Amino acid sequence: MLHDQTQPKAAKEAAGRSQPVEAIRQTTGGIAHSFNNLLTVVIGNLELLEMSETTEKRRTLITAAGEAAELGADLPPT
């Protein structure tokens, strides 16, 4: 009696290849989440600085930093 093992073997190999890809996806998702959490703190503090700063030159620099941080926060997820 013979059994064709082609399909089960191919399925097992495909599952083995997909596991590392899934691990990478989960890792990058976690990094993106942590990055956005950090940017939330940075953006909030820059907004507080911007409201309290009296010199135009410093306010301009703070605004530019806030805009750059918001661009980073708006990056699409991987």
pLDDT single digits (tens) 14-63: 777 778 888 888 888 888 889 999 999 999 999 999 999 889 999 999 99
Please count the structural domains in the chain. 1
Residue 41 lies in a domain: yes
- Please, are residues 39 and 69 in contact by the beta-carbon 8 Å criterion? yes
Instruction: Tell me which residue range forms the domain holding 58.
Output: 29-78
User: What secondary structure letter does DSSP report for 74?
Assistant: T
Strand, coil or helix: 57 = helix
| Residue 49 burial by Cβ neighbours in a 10 Å radius (0-12, 13-18, 19+) | middle
Question: Can you give the pTM of this predicted structure?
Answer: 0.64
Q: Which residue reads 């990094």 in tokens?
A: 31
Residue 44 lies in a domain: yes
